[in-house]
Homo-oligomer: A and B are copies of this chain.
Amino acid sequence: MHSRLWSFVGGDVGGFTVHRVSPITGETLPVTPRLAVTNGNSSAPPGGFVLHGVTSNERYVTHPERRALVARQEPLGREHARLGALIPIKKSEAWWALPQDERRAIFEDRSRHIALGLEALPAVARRLHHCRDLGTAEPFDFLTWFDYHPDDERRFDDLLGALRATPEWEFVEREVEIRVERASA
C-alpha cells in the first residue's frame, strides 16, 4: 500500500548523491553522502538524519489555480530529471497564529507563491509534504522535494531566489537546501 507518509533519510545509502547542504536560515542539517527517499516510515541512521512528512489536501490553492497547475505540471522521476533538491522549511508561530484569509493573502496576493511556481512548470516537478501535524517532534513544518533536468537548474535557482524575496518568507525561521543528483544504478 502506498502511504501518504514519506521519509527523507540522509546517510550512506540511497538513490541520490548529495552535492551540497546549504543552511539558508537557522540551524543546518548533517552533511551525508546520500539521500534516500522512501515511502512510509524510516528511522535515522547513525550520524545521519530522517525527516518525515505527509502529502495532504491543498491549503491555499483555488479551483482556477488548481486547473492551471494540473495543465502544466509533470510528475517526479522523469528520466531526464536527474538533479533534485529537498528543501525543509519551518515557519514561525506568528504565521501559524494567523487566520486562514490572512495566510492566503500573504501567500498568494502579496507573495505570488503559486504564480511563481507556475512559471517554473513543467521544467521543475515537485511534491509538498506536511510535517507540522504529524504529532511527533518534527523539526520542520514542510518538506518540498523537487527534480529537474540539469539545463533547468538556473530556472530552479531563480524560483528559489524569487520565493525567498517574498513577504511570505519573512515568516520562515528555518530553511535548509539539500541539492542532489540521482545516483547511477
Contacts and interface: CB of A to CB of B under 8 A. Distances in A.
Interface in A128-166: 130, 132-136
What is the oligomeric copy number?
A: 2
A34 interface: no
B5 A99 contact: no
Contacts of A103: 57
Interface stretch (A21-29, A58-66, A77-85, A118-126): A58-66
A185 interface: no
A62 B99 contact: yes
A170 interface: no
Interface string A51-71: 010101111111101100000
Interface residues of A, number: 30
A41 interface: yes
A56 B132 contact: yes
Given A63-B102, A66-B99, A135 B134 contact: yes
Interface of A: 4-5, 41, 52, 54, 56-63, 65-66, 96-104, 130, 132-136
9 contacts: A54-B133, A54-B135, A57-B103, A58-B99, A62-B100, A63-B102, A66-B99, A134-B135, A135-B135
